[in-house]
Structure 1
Amino acid sequence: MISHLAWLACWTSALLLVHVFVGYPVLVWLQARLRPQPVARHAILPTVSIVIAVHDGAGFIRAKLASLQALDYPAELIDIVIACDGCHDSTVTTARRSTDPRLTVLDFPNRRGKAACLNDAVALTRGEVLLFTDVRQKLSPTALTELVANLADPTVGAVGGELHMENLRTGFAQGVDFYWRYEKGIRHAESRSGSTIGVSGALYAMRRRLFQPIPPGTVLDDVLVPMRVAAQGKRVVFEPRAMAWDQPSQVPEDERRRKIRTLAGNYQLIQLAPWLLLPWRNPLWLRFVSHKLLRLCAPWLILTLTLSSGVLFTRHPMYAVAFCCLVAGALMVGLARLRPTLGRLLPLRIALAFFYLNLFAAQALLAFARNRRLHLW
C-alpha cells in the first residue's frame, strides 16, 4: 500500500514538474512556430497618460522624470500623473519641483497600497492609452512608440515591455537574470501564439476604455489587469523593443521580501478573481494554470518527488537516479552558498536561483495565510 502511494506521488509530482518547467514552455513555443498570430503593428500617435504610483522614491524620481521627458513621442500628446502613497521622504517635493507642465502630483499622506493609488491616478487622466511604469526603472527613448504601435492592431488590448537586468555583480544576481530570461522567452512565445498571462509592472500600456478599477489591496495589478483585458476578448502581447532597465538583488536576503510578496499576490489573485479558475470564463485558463498556479505548487512537488523517490529507491534504478539527482542539486546549492566564488559557475548559479525562488514560493503561502497587509509595499 505504501509503495503504491509512493509510486503515485512520485509519478504525479514528476509529470507536473516536467509540464511546468519544460512541457508548457515547449508547447507554447511550438504553437508560436506552427500557428503564429502576428500583430499588425504600425506607427500611430494616440494621446497617452503615463501613470506612476510610488512610495518613498526620492532616490529615483528625478531620474524617472528625466527618462519620461526623453521619450521619443510628441510631448503635447502626453500627460503624466504621479501618485505618492504615504511618502515620508522628499518624493513629493522633488516631483513638484519639476517644470514639466504635463505633470500632476498626487500626495496621499496615508499609505493605501499601489492599487488604490493607480485607481485615483487613472481617474485624472485623459489619454486614449494608459502607460503604467514604476519609479525605479529607466526607459528606452522609443519604449512608448514601440508599445503603442501594437495597439494599432484592433485585436490587441494591452502590451507589455521587456525588463532588462543590469549590474549583475554576484552569482545569485546572474542566476536570477538567467531565470528572468527564461521567463521572458515563455512570455514571448505566449504573445506570438495568442496572449501572454502577465506583463511587467515596470512598463506596460493598454487601451484606456478597457481599464476597470483595481480592487483595493491588489498586489499583482500587472497580472489582474491583463487577464481582465483578455476576458474582454482582446490580446495581451509582449513587445521586446520597448525596454526598461532595473538592477536585481545581489543577495537572496534582499530579494526575499519582494519575491515573497509577489508570489503571495498570486494566492490573493485567486481570492479577488475566482473566475480565473473557471475554464468557461477565463479564455487563457490553461496558460494561467500552467504558468502561474502550478509554479506555486513546484516546491511542494519537489518535496513530494524527493520523499517518494527515496521510498522507492531500491525498487528500480530509475527512482534511485531521480533521488540522487535531487540530492546532487541540493549539494550544488550548499556549495554555492558556502563558496560564493564557485556560485558564479553556470550550473551552480542556476541551482541556487532555482532553490531560492522555490523556497520563496513556499514561504509565500505562509505569508498569504498570515495576511500581513500584502498590499503595502
Structure 2
Amino acid sequence: MLAIAVFWTSALLLAYTYVGYPPLVIAVSRIRPRPIRRGDSRPPVTVVMTVHNGAADLAAKLDNLSALDYPSGRVDIIVACDGCSDASAAIARGHTASPVTVLEFGERRGKAACLNDAVAVATGELLLMVDVRQRLEPDALRRLAACLDDPAVGVAAGELRFEDPETGFAASVDAYWRYEKAIRLAESASGSAIGVSGALYAVRRALFPTLPAGTVLDDVYVPMHVLRAGHRVVLEEGAVAWDRPSHSSTQERSRKLRTLAGNFQLVALAPWLLVPGVNPAWLRFVSHKLLRLLSPWLLLAFAVASVALARSHAIYMLASIALGAFVVLLLMARLVPPMGRLLPVRLAGAFAHMNLYAAQALFAWVGNRRLHLW
C-alpha cells in the first residue's frame, strides 16, 4: 500500500537525518579519530572582509582585528565595500592600527564578486575570512594558523558562540546551534567538516577557488572545493567568534531563509556535489545538507500517511498522537513563555522553525534571483 511505503520511508529518512547520522559520525570520530598536527609557525595572513553599509560595526571590528594575538607585521586587512551608501569606506581608510586596503565598488554586486576581487589582490599565505558583526577572541587567528601547519589541512574554521542566548527566541537558536556544532566537530575530528561559519575561517590562498557569480554560501562552496582537491576541512573549537543571536522568529527567518536557499543554489552551481566518488564527502553532504532540505516535505508526507493509516494499526495511531502532542507543545511554549527555557521545548522549537524555513527556502531560491545581495 502506498501510504505504508510513504510512512516508513519518510520515518526512516527523518530518523536517520536527526537521530541516526549525528551519533554515527560522533562514533566514527571516537573510533577512528584523525588528529590535527598543529604547529607554531606564523605565516603572513590577509584578513578579507566584505561589507554592505557596515558603518555601525566596522570601526569596532577593525579594532578587534588589530588586537589579534599574532606577530606584528604579519597581518594586513582588505575591506571590500559592496555598493555602500554609508561611511564604511571612510571608516576603513581612517583605520591606522593595521594596514588596510579598501576596495570600494559603487555597484552592489554581492559578497562573492567582492571576495573574488579581494582575494585577487591579497598577498598573505593564509586568508582569514570574517564578517563585520562578530567579535573575535584574541587567540582566534593564532589557533587557526596552528591547524594549517598540518599540510593535510586546507581550511580551518572557528567556533561561533552566542552572547546572552538564554532568553526568548534566542534560546531556540542557541539550542539548534549547539546540536549543529556537535555534528561539525565530529565530522572534523573524523576527517572533514562539510561547511564552516563564514564569520571565521582561514584557508590557504592557493586553494581558494573563484566563486561563481551570485554565490550565497562561500562558507560551504569553498570548503567543498578544498575537500575535492584532497585537503581536510577542520574545526578549531578554541578559535571563537562571538555573535548576537536572533531574538525573534522574524529576525531569524530572514537569516535562515537566505542560508537555506543558498544550499539549493549550491547544488545548482556545483552539481558534482551530488555524484558519489566525485564528491569525496558525498555521504556526509547528503546526510548533513540535502536531507535537511528534504525534511519539511518528509514531515508532511509522514503526517499525511500517519493520519490516513491511524485506524489500521496502533503504531500509526501513536504516530498521529505524537505529532499532535508536538504541535500542542509548541503552542504551549508560546502561551507560557517560561516553558521556552526547558531544553526539550527549545529543541522542539528549533526543529519546527528550521523545517518551516527549509520549506520556504525552496520558494525563496526559485523566486528571488537577487538572493546574493545581502
Fold shared by both chains (TM-score > 0.5): yes
Instruction: Give the C-alpha shift of residue 169 in structure 1.
Output: 5.4
The within-5 A match list for 1:20-31 is: 20-31=17-28
Contact 2:4 2:305 in 1 (8 A): yes
Q: What is the CA–CA distance in structure 2 between the aligned matches of 1:86 and 1:266, rounded to whole Å? A: 25
Code of the residue aligned with 1:147 in structure 2: it is L
Query: What does residue 302 of structure 1 align with?
Result: 299
Residue 13 in 1 paired to residue 14 in 2?
Answer: no
Q: What is the CA–CA distance in structure 2 between the aligned matches of 1:131 and 1:75, rounded to whole Å? A: 16
Match of 1:197 among 194, 197, 201: 194
Match of 1:235 among 223, 232, 235: 232
Contact 1:171 1:345 in 2 (8 A): no
Residue 161 in 1 paired to residue 158 in 2?
Answer: yes
Q: How many residues align?
A: 374
Match of 1:35 among 13, 32, 36: 32
Query: What does residue 353 of structure 2 align with?
Result: 356
Query: What does residue 64 of structure 1 align with?
Result: 61
SS at match of 2:278: coil
Contact 1:119 1:214 in 2 (8 A): yes
Contact 2:171 2:340 in 1 (8 A): no
Match of 1:146 among 143, 146, 150: 143
Unpaired runs of at least 5, structure 2: none
Contact 1:46 1:77 in 2 (8 A): yes
Instruction: Give the C-alpha shift of residue 162 in structure 1.
Output: 0.2
TM-score for both structures, normalised by structure 2 = 0.98
Q: Report which stretch shifted further, 342-351 or 237-246.
A: 342-351
TM-score for both structures, normalised by structure 1 = 0.97
Q: What is the CA–CA distance in structure 2 between the aligned matches of 1:345 and 1:38, rounded to whole Å? A: 35
Residue 375 in 1 paired to residue 372 in 2?
Answer: yes
SS at match of 1:190: helix
Q: What is the CA–CA distance in structure 1 between the aligned matches of 2:101 and 2:164, rounded to whole Å? A: 32
RMSD of aligned alpha carbons: 1.1
Q: What is the CA–CA distance in structure 1 between the aligned matches of 2:126 and 2:46, rounded to whole Å? A: 6
SS at match of 1:83: strand
Instruction: Give the C-alpha shift of residue 246 in structure 1.
Output: 0.1
Provide closer, same or farther for how the CA distance between residues 326 and 70 of structure 1 changes in structure 2, counting only shifts above 3 A.
same
Query: What does residue 88 of structure 2 align with?
Result: 91
Query: What does residue 276 of structure 1 align with?
Result: 273
Q: What is the CA–CA distance in structure 1 between the aligned matches of 2:74 and 2:310, rounded to whole Å? A: 66
Unpaired runs of at least 5, structure 1: none
Q: What is the CA–CA distance in structure 2 between the aligned matches of 1:231 and 1:19, rounded to whole Å? A: 25
SS at match of 1:49: strand
Code of the residue aligned with 1:357 in structure 2: it is M
The within-5 A match list for 1:176-187 is: 176-187=173-184
Q: What is the CA–CA distance in structure 1 between the aligned matches of 2:72 and 2:338, rounded to whole Å? A: 48
Instruction: Give the C-alpha shift of residue 120 in structure 1.
Output: 0.6
Q: What is the CA–CA distance in structure 1 between the aligned matches of 2:347 and 2:206, rounded to whole Å? A: 42
Code of the residue aligned with 2:35 in structure 1: it is P
SS at match of 2:161: strand
The within-5 A match list for 1:97-116 is: 97-116=94-113
Query: What does residue 249 of structure 1 align with?
Result: 246
Identity of aligned residues (%): 57
Query: What does residue 52 of structure 1 align with?
Result: 49
Residue 212 in 1 paired to residue 209 in 2?
Answer: yes
SS at match of 2:169: helix
Contact 1:171 1:349 in 2 (8 A): no
SS at match of 1:356: helix
Residue 132 in 1 paired to residue 129 in 2?
Answer: yes
Q: What is the CA–CA distance in structure 2 between the aligned matches of 1:344 and 1:45, rounded to whole Å? A: 43
Could you give the per-residue CA deviations for residues 234-292 of structure 1, whole angstroms, max 9, x where no partner exists? 00001001100001110101111111011000010011000100112100000000000
